[in-house]
Chains A and B, each alone.
Chain A
Amino acid sequence: MTDLILAHGFDRHAPAERSAAPARDRPPAPHPGRGPAWLGLVIPLLALAGLELAVRAGAVPAHLLPPPSEVAGALHALGAAELWRHVGASVARVAIGFGLGAVLAVLVGAWVGLSPRAAALLDPSIQGLRAIPSLAWVPLLLLWMGIDEAPKITLIAIGAFFPVYLNLTAAIVHVDRRLVEVGRVHGLRGWGLVRHVFLPAALPELFTGLRGGLGLAWMFLVAAELIAATRGLGYLLSDGRETGRADIMLGAIALLGLLGKISDSALALIERRALHWHDGFGSTRA
């Protein structure tokens, strides 16, 4: 009997002890993976179907909220060539503006992050500029650059710049001092240390900044196109408003959402590839 109790007591404690001991010498368990991808489509499809039914049943006036089928019809009626003209113009503006803003932010952000002198010189001014709501630049940009492509691309670049800059400078500050020491012990200095330690270590946060910057790029695109444009999805929006075409406006909004989602997913895919080494909690889902 005593034996039994002892054995029982021992058994009861054994698993607790085992789990309390650091499991450092066991390779980590494989990642649990993600849920099925189609699950993400359930809510959008249900919403579209619900909207269609609600309008057809007369619960919502169709001239204010045209059903999805009518929106699709309106876009179809615009014609492929016309649609591509607007989509192409918007995509090109975002691509160029975001590219310029992000590249500039990476260069300036790396410099400010790595050089205390550059940080003391530049960071206060950049933070000051950041405090200005970027849309406030629009009238001035129009005055300076006319209503051509230049002011739109500049505005988008300004929008993309700050998230990338902020995340990169923060990332460089957060780089593990211990890894920097490893680099120094291996004789790395200056650019070698930047290239082999700082940039890879800052990559996760840099991608966060890039995705934030891309989101803002789309936002500022619409702002620029709403005010002065003859093509682009923002123009389509303001044109729809002037002609009282809710279906055109909803179509443009849907396209903006779709393009934003596609571009973000593309960036997320690059991120996942570039950060396959990352061992954060999110690397199991990302």
Chain B
Amino acid sequence: MTALLEVHIDRKAYAHGPVLERLALELARGEVVVLVGASGCGKSTLLRIVSGLDADYEGRVRLDGQARHGIRPDIGMVFQEPRLLPWLSVADNIAFGHGPATGANAARVRQLLEQIGLAGHASALPKQLSGGQAQRVAIARALFAQPPLLLLDEPFSAVDAFTRMKLQDLLLDVAARNRTALLLVTHDIDEAVYLGDRVLVLDRDPGRLRRAYRVTVPRPRDRRDARLAQVKSEVLTELYDSHAL
């Protein structure tokens, strides 16, 4: 079976020098892969390349064995901030890019609203939502077209710790229901270990893969699980060794 996503980046540079070099990465269907590493190691750049937002790099990205050129709707993206369109209702935001949330879109919007627990907020405006609610809507919007892959760039870094834990569980839940693979960037090692099937540690200057950890703890996981703590300490050791911390 071919991998869902294959990324080979030979080199990606900005004006001040290379950001990513000789980085290879594969994702299986439904897999959850988490990238951690110091600030500036190119994690976000990697997501922008995979999403197609950044086309200025040497290398290739294949989805389902097909080379990708530019942006295609079969990859969803969730940013650090919710980035909801403030003039659209919650329902219209979820259907954004596919027309209004009526007619053929209505059923899918209703389904997603239920999955993110905001069924009563369909006609609310983004300004009426809390940060956590807005990020849930952003996740639903990214999943609207049922993409096989969802990219998330530090999606929960702007919410408080309790909300973050709830959002992590919600993300795993909706990703499983929609059979979506996740490629997630985070600075939060607890989050990485709790969410990931694999945790990849990136090096800096230039960014390349330093080490990969497989988290074999079965789901649903318990945050207090000693095995998760074990993986966390290994990842932390690796980050100390890479002088990221």
Contacts and interface: CB of A to CB of B under 8 A. Distances in A.
Interface string B31-74: 00000000000000000000111000000000000000001110
A85 interface: no
Given A179-B85, A182-B85, A182-B96, A25 B130 contact: yes
A186 B97 contact: yes
Contact of A25 (B81, B127, B163): B163
Interface in B101-134: 125-133
Interface in A1-55: 21-22, 24-28
Contacts of B79: 178, 181-182
Contacts of A200: 85, 87
B18 interface: no
Interface string A176-199: 001101111111100000001100
B83 interface: yes
Contact of B130 (A27, A178, A183): A27
Contacts of B72: 187
A277 interface: yes
B92 to A, nearest CB: 10
A185 B53 contact: yes
Interface in A252-278: 276-278
A146 to B, nearest CB: 45
Contacts of A179: 83, 85
Contact of B131 (A21, A24, A197): A24
Contacts of B23: none
Nearest to A278: B86
Contacts of A187: 71-73, 97
A203 interface: yes
A15 to B, nearest CB: 17
Contacts of A178: 79, 81, 83
Contacts of B160: 21-22, 24-25
Nearest to B81: A178
A24 B52 CA distance: 30
B159 interface: yes
B73 to A, nearest CB: 5
A121 to B, nearest CB: 27
Contacts of A203: 87
Nearest to B124: A27
B163 A184 contact: no
Interface in A179-231: 179, 181-188, 196-197, 200-201, 203
Contact of A24 (B77, B88, B98, B158): B158
Nearest to A283: B127
Contact of B127 (A28, A188, A196): A28
A279 interface: yes
A24 B86 contact: no
B23 to A, nearest CB: 22
B127 A277 contact: yes
B53 A25 contact: no
A109 to B, nearest CB: 19
Nearest to B85: A179
Nearest to B79: A178
Interface of B: 51-53, 71-73, 76-77, 79, 81, 83, 85-88, 96-98, 125-133, 158-160, 163
Interface of A: 21-22, 24-28, 178-179, 181-188, 196-197, 200-201, 203, 276-279
Cβ-closest 7 pairs across A and B: A186-B97, A24-B131, A279-B127, A277-B87, A200-B87, A25-B130, A185-B77
22 contacts: A21-B160, A24-B131, A24-B132, A25-B132, A25-B163, A27-B129, A27-B130, A27-B133, A28-B127, A178-B79, A179-B83, A182-B83, A182-B85, A185-B51, A185-B53, A186-B98, A188-B97, A196-B96, A200-B85, A277-B87, A277-B88, A279-B126
Given A24-B160, A27-B130, 15 more contacts: A22-B160, A24-B158, A25-B160, A27-B129, A27-B133, A28-B127, A178-B83, A184-B71, A186-B73, A186-B97, A186-B98, A203-B87, A276-B125, A277-B125, A279-B127
